[in-house]
Structure 1
Amino acid sequence: MKNTIASAGLGLALLTACAPAAHAATGDPSRVVTAQGEVRGTVGPKVRSFQGIPYATAARFAAPRPGPSWKGVRDATEPGNVCAQPAGYPIGKPSTDEDCLNLNVTTPVNGRSKLPVIVWIHGGSMMFGMGDLYGADRLAADGAIVVSLNYRLGVAGFLTHPSLRESGGLALDDQRAAMRWVRRNIAAFGGDPGNVTIMGESGGGFSVCGHLASPASAGLFQRAIVQSAPCGTPGSASRTRARAQAESDEVIGKVGCADAFDVADCLREVPMSTLLKAYGTEREPRPISGTPALPLPVDEALRRGRFNRVPVLYGVNHDEENGMILGLELATGKPMRAEEYEPAIRQAYGDRARAVLRRYPLRGGSAGKQLAKVRTDSNWSVPTLDTARAMSRHTSVRMFEFAEQRTPWFAGYPKPSFPAAAQHMSELPYLFDLDLFTKLTPRQAALAGRLTRTWVRFAATGDPGNGGGRAVWPRLRDDRGQAGWYVHSLTSGPWKRAGFVKDHGYRFWSGASRN
């Protein structure tokens, strides 16, 4: 694996060395000359913004190819097309566009060079989303070049069939093409192509883990930030070919291509709107393992140390499942009833349900909140620590828990029946300008500043520091037992060691006492 990774990195370096160089245009800070041509963006008081730059092009169900060149100056003041996706969540936008492989670059206005680069991979279950939703001004103003991107999602990114030889993991292929664009062009914007951090949350976090496990991504990044993605859970970040094929066969049958003489040609002729409808909205697709780009399942690669060993900042939110339960409340129009709690536990945990009910009894209060606690501990917190432990045996890992309790709620939505607290996505309005959430209060804005400075410092050095507090943030060290399982608690108060193992029932869920 080491030789494969090294060879991939060497090949990429040679390709980059042979590519035409990008360079900054002189005089006008709104203009930059890339290897494809000149772009004109916008310049504000603190940052410059360049949007909708095509980084690659791709035919349907085919791997991405280098992006187009142009003559003259290309307007880069508006976002590009959103990749094809169904209606569903406010983090996305309904689209049937397939010409969508574009990215956005946000830079400080200070004119410095060799700045650390953060490549942001948006979440959305790899089914929804777009890069321009996440305003990167605050991260950039703190001293980083931030690149966000659109990549193929859902049916366009993951439908697979033997006749579609390049299919099954096109989302990661697209992201990799964007990283190659960054290596080739980012110096023209003031960034250091040799100091790139890939960063993602939820589906984007699972994507980051995919690149950690991929020899094809070796050398394209030097650090990684993973938020709310327990990648060590089997099947969470990749699929077996058999499972992916079974899911795809169902869709191919629905659109009438299963018995076609040439299945690939048939699928290329089906309207994207028809494919989206057949694929539905309830899936969480993942790339196929057992390929040259992803030889091992991601969880196995991380466990065995067969991954790109870069410093990792890895974290989870204290109350991840609050958002899922509250989302169901919004959909049904009513909170979960007390009598629904026990059946929900029995359905989810089967033979272990009695033990779960003993440890998490419902003694008054909110049934939904208690169910969210159970699901957060079992599905998010414990698997995240297990993943961090596995990676820490091979590389530098610093783990955090975002635990702020007074967080912004979704703008325009009814008040929830219990506090959302540190729900899934709740850290994002502290890192990005996001219209999805209510405006930050002064206290929340202060925490936002600490977080962005910490993330930028990690991108620059591989060490997040301590967020301006007194407590040291050491590496997680699995070789030192539970004493070495250090998790930094990030709140608006002092940053300190979280009581993570006890707080989330780690021994109960993982059997850590027997390790």
Structure 2
Amino acid sequence: MTAKRTAVIAVLASAAFLVVNATAPDPLSAPVPDSAAATVRTDTGLVRGLRTVTHTLFRGIPYAGPPKGAYRWAAPRPVRPWKGVRDATKPGPLCPQVASPYADASSLEEDCLVLDVTVRAPATAKRPTPVLVWIHGDGSVGGGSLFDARRLADRGLVVVTVNYRLGVFGGFGYPGLEGSGTFALKDQQAALDWVRRNAGAFGGDAGNVTVAGSSFGAAAISGHLTSPKARGLFHRAVLASGEGMMDMPAGAMGEGVPAYPYYTWRTEREVRDAGVEMTSSLGCAGRGPERALRCLRALPVKKLLTVPHIMNAFQTFAFGTDVLPELPEKALRAGRFPRIPLMTGATRDEHRLFVGMAHDAIGSPFTAGQYERALATAFGRWADRVSAQYPVRDFPSPALAWATVVTDRMWARGTYAQAVAFGRHAPTYAYEFADRNAPMYLPFPGDFDFGAYHAGDTPYVFEDADAQKHFTPAQVRLSDTMTDHWAHFALTGTPNRPGLPRWPRFNPARAVPHTQSLAPDGIGPVDYAREHRLDFWRRLAEQDGFPPSQPAEGKEPVS
């Protein structure tokens, strides 16, 4: 295997990502006419943000103490109160990360547990305003300050975007390390607790908090829904392209990447074993767990980040812990989660992004022969049946055939299972983002047809000049409608209001549960299961031993 292909696999196996405007100048830090200071008292001290004609912005507010030194790989601790007024007009530091092919962002700063607050100005609400807390995706790169929330704030929300520990700092595990594999989740819960204590200072309603996230961030929300530590911290949830009930066939994320029965979740032991293996070359092994941990905590951030693949090894969450006592998928299927309003969905062509990334990085076309080999790797003795259902001649290219197979088998199957689990017990609104001409805002050259790709919907809700400058008038209308739906859901628990397309609840008892298709000038119901051939995958799942990465439906997963 070439070094280039190995690097691609490492990126693709790093879990799904989501970073907006990582390379663009920070629009919120640019000089704004008629700006003035705005001071608010939080529970740890005064913060001075920036009031513009249209918004008030508070940036880089600490919600937990620095996770440095002995506190590296420890539960988040309280912020030490400060005297005077803390400047909150500029972004705080990103958590440790290295630049990737899709995000030119890097940081070596561990004192990074900060958040941003965006509100509309001047404040006109006569009562506390609903709060939306955004958990960004990826798990190895990104940060809350990369998301411009002004459009959502314009709809009458207080929007909080959060940093949390990433990669080896957020998902690390080791023998004897309390909290192994849960530090990112603990950070997010600490941020939500900060919101509960401080929302009122910004005009927000601590009793009406929506937590929203995409990809890895949405997977985290699946965990929070089942976590006893998160009870009462939020009252609605939006899960975009969440992987909480997904599994992964072999090779789905690149040649040589193994199958996983649970895409996001690992046992605590698996996480600890990975920690031992991945840090074995750092000079801390062979000392016993306690001394090894002291050694690892003393290493420079840069050394941890430059060990091959280490930044991608811990983008999972450990269950069997105090944060996640049981496998979240099992808890969700059993209905062990709060009966709160939920919005859940995915993009129509989720996996085209990953296939397109590999195509661009490796630089050679994906052939019909590779397609058949990929099917054999992923599906074993069922490969011929999958090939007959998805014959390569029916697609513009073998690459798009493979992308469709994995979209349907992995993403759509998991997304639908999650909607069914939610809809059996709570008010649930399902959607599919279906704009197949969504602008590509990630730096991928070439002419690959990405379609309605993974994370392609994010610039339709958050400000992103790189994408939105390419919007057609129909896409502008779609963006406005989607943002209105999100905001009204955060306000009331339903995306429906006069003037917006009707969006019925997802009812699993119906022959065709309602899924809202979101496309330019084409918003309305779609038969999601039929579109993604889920009956075919269900029939295969009834075969003993299929899929290779997960027990058949109806059988208890091994945890």
TM over 0.5: yes
SS at match of 1:103: strand
2:130–2:490 Cα contact (<8 Å) kept: yes
2:433–2:519 Cα contact (<8 Å) kept: yes
2:270 aligns with 243
Deviation of the 1:173 alpha carbon: 0.5
2:520 is the counterpart of 1:492: yes
Distance in 1 (alpha carbons) for counterparts of 2:279 and 2:363: 36
2:303 aligns with 274
1:34 aligns with 42
Distance in 2 (alpha carbons) for counterparts of 1:84 and 1:467: 45
Deviation of the 1:312 alpha carbon: 0.7
Distance in 2 (alpha carbons) for counterparts of 1:225 and 1:115: 18
| Greater CA drift, 66-75 or 271-280 | 271-280
Deviation of the 1:298 alpha carbon: 0.9
1:398 aligns with 429
Distance in 1 (alpha carbons) for counterparts of 2:404 and 2:286: 47
Query: Which residue identity lines up with residue 514 of structure 2 in the other structure?
Result: Y
Distance in 2 (alpha carbons) for counterparts of 1:81 and 1:513: 46
2:180–2:268 Cα contact (<8 Å) kept: no
SS at match of 2:279: helix
| Equivalent of residue 445 in structure 1, options 476, 480, 487 | 476
Deviation of the 1:506 alpha carbon: 0.6
Distance in 1 (alpha carbons) for counterparts of 2:506 and 2:328: 20
Distance in 1 (alpha carbons) for counterparts of 2:160 and 2:231: 19
1:258 aligns with 285
Q: 1:335 to 1:442 in 2, by over 3 A?
A: farther
Deviation of the 1:344 alpha carbon: 2.1
| Equivalent of residue 84 in structure 1, options 83, 93, 96 | 96
| Greater CA drift, 51-60 or 260-269 | 260-269
| Equivalent of residue 376 in structure 1, options 407, 410, 414 | 407
Q: 1:94 to 1:29 in 2, by over 3 A?
A: closer
SS at match of 2:421: helix
2:514–2:527 Cα contact (<8 Å) kept: no
Distance in 2 (alpha carbons) for counterparts of 1:493 and 1:406: 13
Distance in 2 (alpha carbons) for counterparts of 1:34 and 1:300: 38
Distance in 2 (alpha carbons) for counterparts of 1:223 and 1:215: 16
SS at match of 1:52: strand
SS at match of 1:118: strand
1:22 aligns with none
Distance in 1 (alpha carbons) for counterparts of 2:325 and 2:442: 42
Deviation of the 1:445 alpha carbon: 1.7
Instruction: Output one character per residue of 1:372-411: Cα deviation in whole Å (capped at 9) or x when no partner.
Output: 1111001101211011111222212111111112211126
Query: Which residue identity lines up with residue 506 of structure 1 in the other structure?
Result: L
Instruction: Output one character per residue of 1:483-503: Cα deviation in whole Å (capped at 9) or x when no partner.
Output: 3x2211111124211121111
1:119 aligns with 133
1:357-372 alignment runs, 5 A limit: 357-363=387-393, 365-372=396-403
1:293-332 alignment runs, 5 A limit: 293-332=323-362
2:165 is the counterpart of 1:152: yes
* Identity among equivalent pairs (%): 38
Deviation of the 1:193 alpha carbon: 0.4
Deviation of the 1:188 alpha carbon: 1.0
Distance in 2 (alpha carbons) for counterparts of 1:305 and 1:266: 43
TM-score, normalised to structure 2's length?
0.82
Distance in 1 (alpha carbons) for counterparts of 2:192 and 2:341: 18
1:457-476 alignment runs, 5 A limit: 457-465=488-496, 468-470=499-501, 472-476=502-506
Deviation of the 1:181 alpha carbon: 0.7
1:127–1:153 Cα contact (<8 Å) kept: yes
Query: Which residue identity lines up with residue 377 of structure 1 in the other structure?
Result: D
Distance in 2 (alpha carbons) for counterparts of 1:505 and 1:463: 29
Query: Which residue identity lines up with residue 267 of structure 2 in the other structure?
Result: T
Deviation of the 1:48 alpha carbon: 1.3
2:10 aligns with none
1:206–1:236 Cα contact (<8 Å) kept: no
Distance in 2 (alpha carbons) for counterparts of 1:284 and 1:367: 31
1:179-194 alignment runs, 5 A limit: 179-194=192-207
Distance in 1 (alpha carbons) for counterparts of 2:442 and 2:347: 20
Instruction: Output one character per residue of 1:439-492: Cα deviation in whole Å (capped at 9) or x when no partner.
Output: 23332222111111100100111101179455x3222222x2433x22111111
Distance in 1 (alpha carbons) for counterparts of 2:473 and 2:201: 36
SS at match of 2:81: coil
SS at match of 1:509: helix
1:411–1:435 Cα contact (<8 Å) kept: no
Q: 1:95 to 1:426 in 2, by over 3 A?
A: same
Query: Which residue identity lines up with residue 275 of structure 2 in the other structure?
Result: S
1:495-514 alignment runs, 5 A limit: 495-511=523-539
1:7 aligns with none
Q: 1:460 to 1:91 in 2, by over 3 A?
A: farther
Distance in 1 (alpha carbons) for counterparts of 2:172 and 2:361: 29
Distance in 2 (alpha carbons) for counterparts of 1:108 and 1:134: 16
Distance in 2 (alpha carbons) for counterparts of 1:357 and 1:268: 50
2:484 is the counterpart of 1:456: no
2:8 aligns with none
2:179 is the counterpart of 1:163: no
Deviation of the 1:32 alpha carbon: 1.3
Q: 1:512 to 1:362 in 2, by over 3 A?
A: closer
1:260–1:266 Cα contact (<8 Å) kept: no
2:53 aligns with 45
Instruction: Output one character per residue of 1:94-120: Cα deviation in whole Å (capped at 9) or x when no partner.
Output: 222111000000001131241111100
SS at match of 2:179: coil
Structure 1 gap segments, 5+ residues each:
1-27
Distance in 2 (alpha carbons) for counterparts of 1:259 and 1:52: 40
1:138–1:432 Cα contact (<8 Å) kept: yes
Deviation of the 1:236 alpha carbon: 2.7
2:48–2:88 Cα contact (<8 Å) kept: yes
1:209 aligns with 222
| Greater CA drift, 454-463 or 355-364 | 355-364
2:259 is the counterpart of 1:220: no
1:200 aligns with 213
1:397–1:476 Cα contact (<8 Å) kept: yes
1:323–1:424 Cα contact (<8 Å) kept: yes
SS at match of 1:174: helix
SS at match of 1:377: helix
Distance in 1 (alpha carbons) for counterparts of 2:239 and 2:195: 20
CA RMSD of aligned residues (A): 2.0
1:428 aligns with 458
Q: 1:201 to 1:194 in 2, by over 3 A?
A: same
2:485–2:495 Cα contact (<8 Å) kept: yes
2:115 aligns with 103
Distance in 2 (alpha carbons) for counterparts of 1:241 and 1:225: 27
| Greater CA drift, 211-220 or 336-345 | 336-345
1:450–1:467 Cα contact (<8 Å) kept: no
1:209–1:237 Cα contact (<8 Å) kept: no
| Greater CA drift, 106-115 or 47-56 | 106-115
| Equivalent of residue 344 in structure 1, options 350, 374, 387 | 374
